[in-house]
């Protein structure tokens, strides 16, 4: 299973392509692709968004569903989704209503 992630051009914020086609600031809103067709569709949207200068560094990443939540397989992406490991008061993990880092 894969999702599409990038950084927003203007401020570098880590974002994920969400189900309604917008770039969400939380991984929980990401749209998942379960097959090659789905991956190709996400990549096409990412390519278009990159060319439209909305986002940079667009990548398809591997994830799994754990307890209903989207969890990246790679540590790098888990940290991106949560925030700095040495500052729990910063990044996504610091948003109101957000639990501890994955």
Residues whose CB is less than 8 angstroms from the CB of residue 102 and which lie 6 or more positions away in sequence, other chains included: 69, 71, 72, 78, 81, 82
Residue 41 and residue 2 in contact, taking contact as beta carbons nearer than 8 Å: no
Chain residues 49-68 in contact with other proteins, contact rule CB under 8 A: 50, 52-53, 56-57
DSSP class of residue 36?
A: H
Tokens in use for 6? Answer: 């990038």
In angstroms, what is the minimal distance from the CB of 43 to other proteins? 16
Pick 69 or 84: Cβ nearer other proteins: 84
Give yes or no for residue 95 binding other proteins (CB under 8 A): no
Contact residues: other proteins, CB under 8 A:
7, 9-14, 50, 52-53, 56-57, 75-76, 79-80, 83-87, 90-91
């Amino acid at each position: 299973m894969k999702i599409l992630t990038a950084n927003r051009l203007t401020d570098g914020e880590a974002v994920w392509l969400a189900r309604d086609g917008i770039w969400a600031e939380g991984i929980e809103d990401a749209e998942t692709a379960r097959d090659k067709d789905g991956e190709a569709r996400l990549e096409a949207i990412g390519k278009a968004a990159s060319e439209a200068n909305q986002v940079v560094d667009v990548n398809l990443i591997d994830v799994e569903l754990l307890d209903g939540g989207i969890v990246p397989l790679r540590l790098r992406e888990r940290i991106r989704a949560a925030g700095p490991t040495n500052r729990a008061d910063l990044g996504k993990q610091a948003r109101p209503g957000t639990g501890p880092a994955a």
